[in-house]
Structure 1
Amino acid sequence: MDESRQSPSGAGAVLRKLAPPPALCGFLLLLALIFAASYGVGVSAGPVAPGMHGTGSSSGGGTDGGGGGDDMGDMGNMRGGDH
């Protein structure tokens, strides 16, 4: 009777000890699914502000009037105190 209660020895027992618990695997899977869903919703919603463009597409002309890209727009003149 005592032999049936002993833990199995060998490579299978070592692999079971090193494997993460199933609850952790399920949590990480759920986290990845939620991230993928939120990323998909964000991509389908588009940019937050009108005129917002990606930084990689502009080559520096600045003629789009959106104020985006490499220039600072009107914020370049913001300084605290006296000049």
Structure 2
Amino acid sequence: MNIHLQPEFDDILQPLGHSAAEFFLAASLYHAHKISFASAAHMAGLDFEAFKTRLLEHFNQGYVVADECALEDIQMIGKL
């Protein structure tokens, strides 16, 4: 799926760095409990620490723990 953003987003996202749209989409899905932290970090193209840092920077909150997400994260850690 290709996503075409409205031009108004360019002025907002550009100062936030490369792949800002991917980060905010992944962060939004994570905060909505649709994907795990591990999945969101991967989708944003960041490692765990970098994703947590950006969440704290932009949302004043790092981890959001939901039961279903915690289980998926534990399974991912087991694979590492």
Tell me the TM-score normalized by structure 1. Answer: 0.22
Where relative contact order (Cα < 8 A, 6+ residues apart) is larger, the structure is 2
Greater C-alpha radius of gyration: 1
Tell me the TM-score normalized by structure 2. Answer: 0.23
Q: Which has the larger helix fraction?
A: 2
